[in-house]
Amino acid sequence: MIIADMLPTDSTEGAVRLTDWGLIRAQGADAASFLHGQLTQDVLHLPEGTARLAGYCSAKGRLLASFVVWRGGADEILLACSADLLAQTLKRLSMFVLRAKCKLSDASADLALWGVAGASAPAAMGLPASAAWTVLRTPALSADEQAGSTAIRLPDACGVARWLWVQPAQSAAPAPTALDMEAWRWLEVCSGVARIQAATVEQFVPQMVNLELVGGVNFQKGCYPGQEVVARSQYRGTLKRRSLRYESSAALGAGQEVFDPADPGQPAGQVVLAAGSSSGRYTALVEVKLGAASSALHLSSAEGPVLEPADLPYPLPNLEAEAT
């Protein structure tokens, strides 16, 4: 039985500082064209007022990082990613700038990222109803505190509206109500949008975490590291893994292995992104072999805690067809 969308808490209203996120800034006349040649997304033609998901792959097509990408201003691109891999990602990207007119820097000390969820908090902040991935430059709520803030409408999760709010680091909290970090992370998992962390670097081709299903891969753009592997997975039927959502009463964490009792000698997949709750329930996006997707999966070993299948907010391709 698949579990329908359920929240571990009644409190999904408010804002929380996303301390596990960081921000890379790319500035210069060639910033967009440089990133266009590095990421899975069409950054060169990214419209003003729109954000996109993107992946950064190794030459073998494995994800080194994943981003929310948007234009911060003239000749400026901003990339939000997991804080625990920002330094290594920034260092690697910088190696390939060469003569391009593009300066890469860590903007995390200048700009803070907040997660805003629910209906009342966005309304109090003056955020209008918007389509997913809309970018809004918000008016100042006071003379100093909210100047230069940006709001990015994220996809709903479990029926809850979400925003990524970016503001000067010294500014006060953007909403009067505090949101629990685990409630935000639960919503993040429920959205079905994977976020690569240090524990999962180079573990997945983009399609293994459904990145192309949520708009994070552009198959019409030019080359980027790992592009041939990503294209082959898409068009030659070589994809044998996908990410599904599960729940459990056992603690779940990124990088943990899961097992199929029918094939106990090797992992059937691993946890991509996880969240817990004060109620003792956990949820996770789990990358699994398609041949094991219909099996009762267990955490850490074939005799470990059972994972209970849960809904994703988008349809997956025919898993049985992909598994063959």
Mean pLDDT of the region 265-291: 94
- H or E element that contains 113: strand 111-117
Instruction: Please state, in angstroms and rounded to a whole number, the distance separating the CA atoms of residues 60 and 131.
Output: 34
Which regions of 148-228 does DSSP assign to beta strands (E)? 150-157, 160-168
Instruction: Answer whether residue 140 shows pLDDT above 80.
Output: no
User: CB within 8 A of 280, min separation 6: which ones?
Assistant: 249
**Could you tell me if 278 and 249 are in contact, meaning their C-beta atoms sit under 8 angstroms apart?**
no
Give the tokens for residue 227. Answer: 């592009």
Instruction: Please state, in angstroms and rounded to a whole number, the distance separating the CA atoms of residues 141 and 155.
Output: 25
168, with CB counted inside 10 A (0-12, 13-18, 19+), is: middle
Q: Hey, what domains does the chain have and what are their CATH numbers?
A: 198-323 (2.40.30.160)
Q: 203 pLDDT band (50/70/90 cuts)?
A: very high
The neighbour count for residue 126, using CB atoms within 10 Å, is 12
**Closest by Cα among 227, 309, 240 to 269:** 240
The single-letter DSSP state of residue 277 is: -
Instruction: Answer whether residue 139 shows pLDDT above 90.
Output: no
List, for residues 161-197, the tens digit of each pLDDT value.
Answer: 999 999 999 988 887 789 999 999 999 999 999 999 9
| Mean pLDDT, the chain, whole residue set | 91
CA distances from 95 to 44, 99, 261 (A): 20, 11, 44
List, for residues 88-128, the tens digit of each pLDDT value.
Answer: 999 999 999 999 999 999 999 999 999 999 988 788 888 88
pLDDT of residue 52: 98
Mean pLDDT of the region 239-262: 95
**Closest by Cα among 254, 314, 315, 320 to 293:** 320
Instruction: Answer whether residue 1 shows pLDDT above 50.
Output: no
pLDDT of residue 165: 96
Instruction: Please state, in angstroms and rounded to a whole number, the distance separating the CA atoms of residues 208 and 44.
Output: 25
Instruction: Please state, in angstroms and rounded to a whole number, the distance separating the CA atoms of residues 16 and 19.
Output: 9
Instruction: Please state, in angstroms and rounded to a whole number, the distance separating the CA atoms of residues 220 and 2.
Output: 35
Give the tokens for residue 321. Answer: 């067809």
User: CB within 8 A of 35, min separation 6: which ones?
Assistant: 26, 43, 69, 77, 79, 102
Q: What percent of the chain has pLDDT over 70?
A: 92
Mean pLDDT of the region 220-234: 93
CA distances from 108 to 79, 83, 197, 305 (A): 11, 9, 16, 38
Instruction: Answer whether residue 148 shows pLDDT above 90.
Output: no
For the sheet containing 103-106, what is the strand order? 52-57, 63-73, 76-82, 21-27, 103-106
Long-range CB pairs of 102-105, under 8 A, 24+ apart, other chains included: 102/26, 102/27, 102/28, 102/29, 102/30, 102/31, 102/34, 102/35, 103/26, 103/27, 103/28, 103/31, 104/24, 104/25, 104/26, 105/24, 105/25, 105/27
pLDDT of residue 121: 79
